[in-house]
Chain A
Amino acid sequence: MDAPVRDTPDTVIEVRDLVVGFGTRTVLDHLSLDVRRGEILGLVGASGGGKSVLLRTIIGLLPRRAGTIRVFGTDLSEAGEQERRAIERRWGVLFQQGALFSSLSVRQNVQFPVREYLDLSERLLEEVAIAKLEMVGLSPDVADKFPSELSGGMIKRVALARALALDPEIVFLDEPTSGLDPIGAGDFDELIRTLQQTLGLTVFMVTHDLDSLHTVCDRVAALADGKVIAQGPIETMLESDHPWLKAYFRGKRARMVLAEQAGD
C-alpha cells in the first residue's frame, strides 16, 4: 500500500452556500468560507450566532439543509464510509470543555485514537503519548491522572494532545482559551502558534479572545446574521464599517487590547 501523499490543494476547507437550521430557525444562511492550507483562521461572531454550529457542521456533527462542504477537496456528504474515515483521521478537534473521556487516564485519552487507527507496539504507543504530552507543555507525571483531577488549563492541553495524537493536518479549536486566565490563555496561544509552525497545521479556531485574534490568527472571519460579513487579516476587520464589527473590534475592551499592542 502506498502512503497517502499529502498533496492537498491550497484551500483545505471550502464551504459554499451552507444553510443550517433548527426547526423554524435558520442559523447559517447561505454561508461561504474558505480555509487555506497552513493558516490560522479565527472565527468571531456574537454568542449564539452560529460559530460553533458552523464548526460542528464542518466536522459532520450537525446536518445541513443545503450547500456543500469540501474538506481536502472531497465533499463529505458524497464520500463513502471509508473515505470519510480517512478524512476524519486527518483532522483533530478540541472541544470547548475538552471532552476528555472521564473514565480513562490522561495517557489512555491520548492513546485512544492511536490505538483505534494505527497498529503500533506498546512501547511506541507509550513513547508517542508521552512525547505528545510534552509537546503541549505537560510533564509526563500527569499521564496517570484522570480528567477529574486536572485543572482547566491542563484539561485543554490534554485535549489538544489528544486532538494532535494522529498528527492531523487540520485542527479545529472551539474557544481554546475560554476559561483560562490571561497568562494561561497567552501561553496557549503561543503553544498553538508553535505547534502550527512545527507540524505545519491548518488551524480553524472559534474564539472570543481579542488577544488571540491579534497575536495568532493569520486571518479572521466574522459571522453575523448567518453569513460571513467580512474576512481577512485583523487590519481589514479594524477598518470595516459594519456596525457589529465596529462594536466588536473598536469597543472599549478592543481599544485596550489595541493600545497594548501599539505599546509593545
Chain B
Amino acid sequence: MDGESLLKSAVVGERLEVAASGSWTAPQARLLERLVEAIGKQAPSVRSVSIDMHAVHELDTYGAWLLERLVRERNALGQDTRIVGLPEHYRGLIEEIQNANRKAGPAPARKEGVVGILVAIGRTVVDIGQDLVSFVQMFGLLTVALGRVIAKPVTFRLTSAVHHLDRVGWQAVPIILLITFLIGAIISQQGIFHFRKFGADVYVVDMVGILVLREVGVLIVAIMVAGRSGSAYTAELGSMKMREEVDALRTMGFDPVEVLILPRVVALVFALPILTFLGSMSALYGGGLVAWLYGGISPDIFISRLKEAISLTHFEVGIIKAPFMALIIGIVAGSEGMQVKGSAESLGTQTTASVVKSIFLVIVLDGFFAIFFASIGM
C-alpha cells in the first residue's frame, strides 16, 4: 500500500485539508509516521487545518497516536486543527490517546564520551571497594556464627553440613582425580621432553613431585572447586534470596548465615584438603605412568627417586593451604549469593562474579603463601 492512499493533503485558501483513509494500524505505522512528519511541516503559514478521517476503516493506538501527534504539531504552530468525520466508535480511543505523552517521560539515561568512561571507571573503583567490604563483612558474620555454634554446639546444622560434604567432596572425587591425573601426566611429559636435551630426564621426578605437592595439586583442586561448588553455592543462595526464603528464615528468628552459609563453608573447609590429597596422589600417579611409558623411568626408580626428592615439608606446604583456599571460596560464594537481587540477570551476574573472584583470590593467596613459606624456610 503506498502513502498516497493513506494520507493526502491540499491547501485550500488559508486552510490545509488533509484526507486520511485506509488502515491506520500498527503494520502501517512506519509509513504513516513518515507521512505525518511530512504533513506536519507542510504549508506552515496556513490558518487552520482540517483532518478528514471518514475514510479510515481501521484505527488502533498507533494510528490514533500519530493522528494526535499531527494535531499537536499543527496546534503548536498556532493553527486551528480539527478532526472531522471520525467514525463514532473510534471516539473513545481518540479521547484516551489525547491524554497520552502529556508529561515528558524520563529520557533514557545515557552517558557518552569521556564522561561516560570516567563514570564507568569511578563505578568500578567503588565496586571493588564494596566487594572488599562485603568480603570482610561475610568473614565477620561467619566468625560470629561460628562463635555462637562453638558456644552451643547443638545448634550446628550437622545434617546440612554432611549433605554438602557429600556434594562438594565425595561427588567431586571422580572429576578431580581425572583432571589432576591428566595435569600430572602433562607436566611429566613436558619435563622429560625438555630435560632429555641435557640428559637430565631423571630429574623430572623431582620436578613432578615438588610441583604437584607444593603448588599445582592444591591450585588445580581449588580452582575446580571454585568453579564447581562455589558457583553452585552462589546460585542456591541467590535463588533462595530471590524467592524470599532468606527473609522467611530471618523472620522465624534464624540467622541465614548460621543456617545456610556456615554448614556450606564448613563442608568446603573439610572437603578441600581431602580432595587436594587425592588430587596430588592422582597427579603423581599420572606423572609416574608417563615417566615409565614415555621416559622409560621404571616405577621402582621413580619411587626411590621420589623418596629422595621430596620430604614431608613439601606435602605440608600444599595441604596447609587447602583449608584457607576453601574458606576464601566459601566466603566469596556466600557474599555474592547474598547480593543477588530480584532478577534472573542478577543471579547470573553474581554467580559469574563469584567464580571469577574466588579463582582470582585463590591465586593471590597462593602467591602470599609462597612468599611466607620461602621466608620461614619451608
Chain A residues in the interface with B (C-beta under 8 A): 1-6, 102-103, 107, 114, 117-121, 124, 126-128, 130-132, 134-135, 139-141, 143-144, 146-149, 164, 166-167, 194, 197-200
Q: A1-B1, A2-B1, A140-B101 are in contact. List 8 more A-B contacts (CB 8 A).
A: A3-B25, A117-B26, A121-B30, A124-B62, A128-B62, A140-B104, A148-B342, A167-B61
Please give me the residue from chain B that is nearest to A141 by CB atom.
B106
Shortest CB–CB separation between residue A37 and chain B, in angstroms? 13
B61, A199: Cβ atoms closer than 8 Å: yes
Partner of A130, one of B33, B57, B101, B109: B101
B99, A134: Cβ atoms closer than 8 Å: yes
B1, A124: Cβ atoms closer than 8 Å: no
Chain B residues in the interface with A (C-beta under 8 A): 1, 22-23, 25-30, 33, 57-58, 60-62, 65-66, 69, 89, 92-93, 95-97, 99-101, 103-106, 108-109, 341-345
Please give me the residue from chain B that is nearest to A166 by CB atom.
B26
Shortest CB–CB separation between residue B59 and chain A, in angstroms? 10
Chain B residue contacts of A130, Cβ below 8 A = 100-101, 105
Chain B residue contacts of A3, Cβ below 8 A = 1, 22-23, 25, 27-28, 58
Instruction: Give the 7 A-B residue pairs with the shortest CB-CB distance, closest first.
Output: A148-B342, A140-B105, A103-B345, A102-B343, A3-B23, A131-B100, A167-B60
A128, B61: Cβ atoms closer than 8 Å: yes
Chain B residue contacts of A144, Cβ below 8 A = 106, 108-109
B106, A143: Cβ atoms closer than 8 Å: yes
B105, A135: Cβ atoms closer than 8 Å: no
Shortest CB–CB separation between residue B349 and chain A, in angstroms? 10
Report the separation of the CA atoms of residues A199 and B345 in the bound assembly, to the nearest whole angstrom.
Answer: 35
Please give me the residue from chain A that is nearest to B99 by CB atom.
A134
Chain A residue contacts of B344, Cβ below 8 A = 102-103
Chain B residue contacts of A131, Cβ below 8 A = 61, 65, 97, 100-101
Report the separation of the CA atoms of residues A4 and B27 in the bound assembly, to the nearest whole angstrom.
Answer: 9
Report the separation of the CA atoms of residues A1 and B61 in the bound assembly, to the nearest whole angstrom.
Answer: 21
Chain B residue contacts of A2, Cβ below 8 A = 1
A134, B92: Cβ atoms closer than 8 Å: no
Partner of B58, one of A5, A102, A141, A199: A5
9 contacts between A and B (CB under 8 A): A3-B1, A3-B23, A5-B58, A127-B101, A131-B101, A135-B97, A135-B100, A197-B92, A199-B60
Chain B residue contacts of A149, Cβ below 8 A = 342
Partner of A120, one of B30, B92, B105: B30
Report the separation of the CA atoms of residues A126 and B28 in the bound assembly, to the nearest whole angstrom.
Answer: 17
Chain B residue contacts of A102, Cβ below 8 A = 342-345
Report the separation of the CA atoms of residues A199 and B62 in the bound assembly, to the nearest whole angstrom.
Answer: 11
Report the separation of the CA atoms of residues A132 and B97 in the bound assembly, to the nearest whole angstrom.
Answer: 9
A134, B100: Cβ atoms closer than 8 Å: yes
Q: Which of B23, B27, B66, B97 has the most CB of A within 10 A?
A: B27
Chain A residue contacts of B33, Cβ below 8 A = 120-121, 124
Please give me the residue from chain A that is nearest to B28 by CB atom.
A3
Report the separation of the CA atoms of residues A126 and B100 in the bound assembly, to the nearest whole angstrom.
Answer: 12
Partner of B96, one of A135, A147, A200: A135
Chain A residue contacts of B100, Cβ below 8 A = 127, 130-131, 134-135
Chain B residue contacts of A139, Cβ below 8 A = 103
Report the separation of the CA atoms of residues A132 and B57 in the bound assembly, to the nearest whole angstrom.
Answer: 22
Chain B residue contacts of A119, Cβ below 8 A = 30
Shortest CB–CB separation between residue B246 and chain A, in angstroms? 15
Q: Which of A5, A103, A131, A143 has the most CB of B within 10 A?
A: A131
Chain A residue contacts of B60, Cβ below 8 A = 167, 199
Shortest CB–CB separation between residue A198 and chain B, in angstroms? 4
Shortest CB–CB separation between residue A193 and chain B, in angstroms? 12
Partner of B61, one of A4, A135, A148: A135
Chain A residue contacts of B103, Cβ below 8 A = 139-140
A148, B341: Cβ atoms closer than 8 Å: yes
Please give me the residue from chain B that is nearest to A123 by CB atom.
B33
Please give me the residue from chain B that is nearest to A197 by CB atom.
B92
A140, B106: Cβ atoms closer than 8 Å: yes
Chain A residue contacts of B101, Cβ below 8 A = 127, 130-131, 134, 140
